[in-house]
Amino acid sequence: MSKLSGKVQTVLGLVDPDQLGRTMTHEHLTMSFECCYFPPSPGDEAVAENPFQMQHMYWLRQNQYSCHENLLLHQEVGAVREELLAYRKAGGGAIVENTTTGIERDMPTLKQLAKDTGVHIIAGAGYYVDCTHSETTRKTSVEKLTDIIISEVLHGADGTDIRCGVIGEIGTGWPITDSEKKVLKATAHAQAQLGCPVIIHPGRDPAAPAEVVRILQEAGGDIRKTVMSHLDRTIFDNGELLEFAKLGSYLEYDLFGVEMLNYSYNLSVDMPSDSQRVQALAFLVKEGYEDRIVIAHDIHTKNRLTKFGGHGYSHILKNIVPKMLRRGISQHQVDKILIDNPKEWLTFK
Ligand SMILES: CCC(=O)NCCS(=O)(=O)O
């Protein structure tokens, strides 16, 4: 039995799983999303240059990926520190920080934020989507990638001794590229050796989550210990959702707070509102999946911080939980979603 067994690994070291409390399973505290810049519509260029003004707030909410500065969350460490203190006050205990190689993971800053705020921060190992893979990553074998991921968990990431406590978010697109498939296999091999939690960013197609599960399973991954992220922008049909749920992963609704008419990355998608996200949770609970649901905001742009008029990291605790209760999800079930399920997932086998 490894020394990680039965523990959760935070950036400050191992903790007893009962110490976590309410946990957001998919957030970012410091990262850059420049890789996914989406040019503004013709005529909007001037607004996109300087959108951080009251009269442009609605534009920014609707076009969050079309402003370079908005993608630089790493410039806002002070604001994020304040937000984490507010998150603790609101009853939050832990945050899984999903920034992986390719979107500027910053381990020393995560450690400092955990020290300054008392929030348990669990950092992510591995690689984001194909367009962020370096030439070196593309040329690296599955075996070597497995060793790198394992080392990020056992010894520390990015040349530090600060350790990751989860693999992911592992980025995949649609169709899944060869380089992404290699990373998925390495993820499964590392998980098989470490008994650790895994979290996946699927491509934007309803078939993508099941295809990722198939690849992980074939490579020896543990699907019961794997979170499938972003279901709110990926699977819209309840029948398809139940088919996917049967595969056994955790089901993550992690874009709480995002309300937009046009989803730049896939205009055929109608991004759900928070009310519709709560309806999806209530549906899954009714179907018996209360032990498999986890939720979060996936904050990865500046405009979603309260400093810029956004909802911040406490939105779920302050606004969504009361709505869940009003829509028939019991307090016991809310506690499972926010406390018990993240705890089970994050505990090393
Ligand atoms: C790095 C953050 C991230 O990948 N968020 C998901 C964005 S989206 O694919 O749901 O638009």
The model's pLDDT over 165-211, given as tens digits with 9 standing for 90+, comes to 999 999 999 999 999 999 999 999 999 999 999 999 999 999 999 99
For residue 261, is it within any domain?
A: yes
Helices (H) and strands (E) in the chain, counts: 14, 10
Q: What's the CA angle centered on 175, arms 171 and 178, to 5 degrees?
A: 70
- Return the number of other C-beta atoms located less than 10 Å from residue 76's C-beta: 17
Task: Report whether residue 265 contacts ligand 1, using a CB cutoff of 6 Å.
Answer: yes
| Mean pLDDT for the stretch of residues 61-83 | 97
Distance (Å) from CA 164 to ligand 1 centroid: 20
| Beta carbons within 8 Å of 222's beta carbon, 6+ residues apart | 191, 192, 195, 198, 349
**Chain mean pLDDT for the chain:** 97
* Portion of the chain with pLDDT greater than 70, in percent: 100
Question: Cα dihedral sign for 131, 136, 138, 140?
Answer: negative
Q: How far apart are CA 71 and CA 345, in angstroms?
A: 29
Any alpha helices (H) in the chain, and if so which ranges? 45-49, 57-62, 77-89, 107-117, 135-139, 142-154, 178-194, 208-218, 238-245, 274-286, 315, 321-326, 331-335, 341-346
> Can you tell me which atom of ligand 1 is nearest the CA of 99?
1
For residue 153, is it within any domain?
A: yes
Domain count, the chain: 1
For residue 206, is it within any domain?
A: yes
Q: In which band, very low, low, confident or very high, does the pLDDT at 4 lie, cut at 50, 70 and 90?
A: very high
Give me the half-sphere count of Cα atoms (radius 13 Å) on the Cβ side of residue 2: 16
Binding residues: 26, 28, 169, 201, 230, 298
For residue 284, is it within any domain?
A: yes
Q: How far apart are CA 11 and CA 117, in angstroms?
A: 13
Distance (Å) from CA 294 to ligand 1 centroid: 16
For residue 39, is it within any domain?
A: yes
pLDDT digits (tens, 9 = 90+) for 93-134: 999 999 999 999 999 999 999 999 999 999 999 999 999 999
Q: What is the pLDDT of residue 2?
A: 84
Q: What is the pLDDT of residue 1?
A: 65
For residue 110, is it within any domain?
A: yes
pLDDT digits (tens, 9 = 90+) for 232-260: 999 999 999 999 999 999 999 999 999 99
For residue 277, is it within any domain?
A: yes
Q: How far apart are CA 70 and CA 48, in angstroms?
A: 9
The residue to which tokens 């959702």 are assigned = 241
- Minimal CA–CA distance to 297: which of 265, 264, 257, 324? 257
Question: What domain range is 291 assigned to?
Answer: 27-346
> Can you tell me which atom of ligand 1 is nearest the CA of 232?
10
**Probe target for ligand 1 pocket from 37, 99, 104, 230, with the most ligand atoms within 8 Å of CB:** 230
For residue 4, is it within any domain?
A: no
pLDDT digits (tens, 9 = 90+) for 257-310: 999 999 999 999 999 999 999 999 999 999 999 999 999 999 999 999 999 999
Q: Is the pTM of this model over 0.80?
A: yes
Task: Report whether residue 225 contacts ligand 1, using a CB cutoff of 6 Å.
Answer: no
Q: How far apart are CA 270 and CA 267, in angstroms?
A: 8
Q: How far apart are CA 253 and CA 272, in angstroms?
A: 11
**What one-character-per-residue DSSP string does 133-198 give?**
--HHHHHS-HHHHHHHHHHHHHT-STTSSPPPSEEEEEE--SSPPHHHHHHHHHHHHHHHHH---E
The CATH number linked to 152 is: 3.20.20.140
**Probe target for ligand 1 pocket from 62, 233, 235, 304, with the most ligand atoms within 8 Å of CB:** 233
